Structure 1
Amino acid sequence: MNNPMVEKNIGEMSRALARTKDPELVESFLRCLLTPAEITDIAARWALVKALDQKIPQREIAKDLGLSLCKITRGSRELKKPDSGFRRILDIFQESEKENN
């Protein structure tokens, strides 16, 4: 991005979110920060990452989530990158789910 204001503010939010241990607070913050359309879009992208991880075919994901193949391909490419943020967060989520079950 290389926009200093964006980089500064994303960094600050990331650090604040990483420090909280309260998922309800994070959810409340996201619902205050984002519009309903942005929340829907982010939720679909998270569902996309989980579906890709489950090896669901891209065309099926597109149909189920109403996403373009272009978005799905981008998500797939991001998930495969070395040290992918998608992969790391997905692994943290899956480990947390195992601990809670």
Structure 2
Amino acid sequence: MEKKDEDQAFHELVLALSRCDDSELIEDFLRSLLTDNEVYEVASRWALVKLIDQGVTQRQISRDLGLSLCKITRGSRELKKEDSSFRKMLNLLDQV
């Protein structure tokens, strides 16, 4: 698949998810779309973002989640960015 086609498919996926207000449908869809390992990877990356936001050290996160410091550092950098999408998603979660 060419990059242009990949971007279009990803954008369509994002649009479909953004239009759905049924969390059970989204969960079922994602579990159908992704392998168990991919679900684990996405979930652990989200967990690390929440732990970083809570002030847990990167080394503790690495021990708790079994993730490399490289992945955790990337998450930390993304969370610190101005206008961070990670921060925006955490704020949305706080509103639930």
Runs of 5+ consecutive residues of structure 2 not aligned to the other structure: none
- Residue in structure 2 matched with residue 22 of structure 1 by the alignment: 22
* Distance in 2, Cα, partners of 1:20 & 1:73: 32
* Distance in 2, Cα, partners of 1:87 & 1:6: 26
TM-score where L is the length of structure 2? 0.95
- Residue in structure 2 matched with residue 99 of structure 1 by the alignment: none
Runs of 5+ consecutive residues of structure 1 not aligned to the other structure: 97-101
Residues 49-86 of structure 1: CA distance to partner in whole angstroms, max 9, x if unpaired? 10011010000000000000000000000111112111
* Distance in 2, Cα, partners of 1:4 & 1:85: 23
Q: Percent identity?
A: 53
TM-score where L is the length of structure 1? 0.90
- Residue in structure 2 matched with residue 86 of structure 1 by the alignment: 86
Residues 9-68 of structure 1: CA distance to partner in whole angstroms, max 9, x if unpaired? 111011110111100000001000000000011110010010011010000000000000
Structure 1 residue matching 2:56: 3-state secondary structure: coil
Total equivalences in the alignment: 95
* Distance in 2, Cα, partners of 1:62 & 1:29: 29
Letter in 2 for 1:39: V
Letter in 1 for 2:79: L
* Distance in 1, Cα, partners of 2:7 & 2:87: 22
Runs in 1 of length 4+ with deviation above 6 angstroms? Answer: none
- Residue in structure 2 matched with residue 6 of structure 1 by the alignment: 6
* Distance in 2, Cα, partners of 1:10 & 1:87: 21
Letter in 2 for 1:87: R
